[in-house]
Structure 1
Amino acid sequence: MSTVIYPSPIFGPVHSRRLGISLGINLMPADGKVCTFDCIYCECGFNADHRPRLKRPTREEVAAALERKLKEMQADGQLPDVLTFAGNGEPTAHPQFAEVIDDTIRLRNTYCPEAKVSVLSNATMAMRPEVHKALERVDNNILKLDTVSQEYINKVNRPTYPTYDVREIIETIRSFNGHAIVQTMFMRGTMDGQDVDNTGEEYVAPWLETIKYITPRQVMIYTIDRETPDHDLKKASPETLNAIRDRVMAMGIPCSAAY
Structure 2
Amino acid sequence: MSTIIFPAPIYGPVHSRRMGISLGINLMPHDGKVCTFDCVYCECGFNKDRVAQSQRPTRQEVQRALEERLEQMQAEGQVPDVLTFAGNGEPTTHPDFLGIIEDTIALRNRFCPKAKVSVLSNASLAARPNIHKALMLVDNNILKLDTINLEYIQLVDRPLYPYNVEKVIESLKAFNGHVIVQTMFMKGTVEGKNVDNTGDEYVLPWLEAVKEIKPQQVMIYTIDRETPNHNLQKATHEELDRIVAMIEKEGIPATASY
TM-score, normalised via structure 1 length = 0.99
In 2, the alpha carbon distance for the partners of 1:2 and 1:202 equals 33
**1:167 lines up with 2:171 in the alignment:** no
SS in structure 2 at match of 1:8: coil
In 2, the alpha carbon distance for the partners of 1:116 and 1:142 equals 12
Greater alpha carbon shift after TM alignment, 192-201 vs 40-49: 192-201
Where does the alignment leave 5 or more consecutive residues of structure 1 unmatched?
Answer: none
In 2, the alpha carbon distance for the partners of 1:15 and 1:244 equals 25
* Aligned equivalent of 1:238: 237
Q: Which amino acid aligns with 2:125?
A: M
SS in structure 2 at match of 1:147: coil
RMSD: 0.6
1:115-194 correspondence to structure 2 within 5 Å: 115-161=115-161, 163-194=162-193
* Aligned equivalent of 1:199: 198
In 2, the alpha carbon distance for the partners of 1:185 and 1:35 equals 17
Q: Which amino acid aligns with 1:178?
A: G
Give me the identity figure in percent.
Answer: 66
SS in structure 2 at match of 1:11: strand
SS in structure 1 at match of 2:80: coil
CA apart distance, 1:200: 1.2
Structure 1 runs (4+) greater than 6 angstroms displaced: none
Where does the alignment leave 5 or more consecutive residues of structure 2 unmatched?
Answer: none
In 1, the alpha carbon distance for the partners of 2:116 and 2:78 equals 15
Q: Which amino acid aligns with 1:7?
A: P
* Aligned equivalent of 2:38: 38
In 1, the alpha carbon distance for the partners of 2:202 and 2:163 equals 19
In 1, the alpha carbon distance for the partners of 2:191 and 2:158 equals 14
In 2, the alpha carbon distance for the partners of 1:3 and 1:134 equals 30
Number of residue pairs matched by the alignment: 258
Q: Which amino acid aligns with 2:134?
A: A
* Aligned equivalent of 2:53: 53
In 2, the alpha carbon distance for the partners of 1:11 and 1:137 equals 22
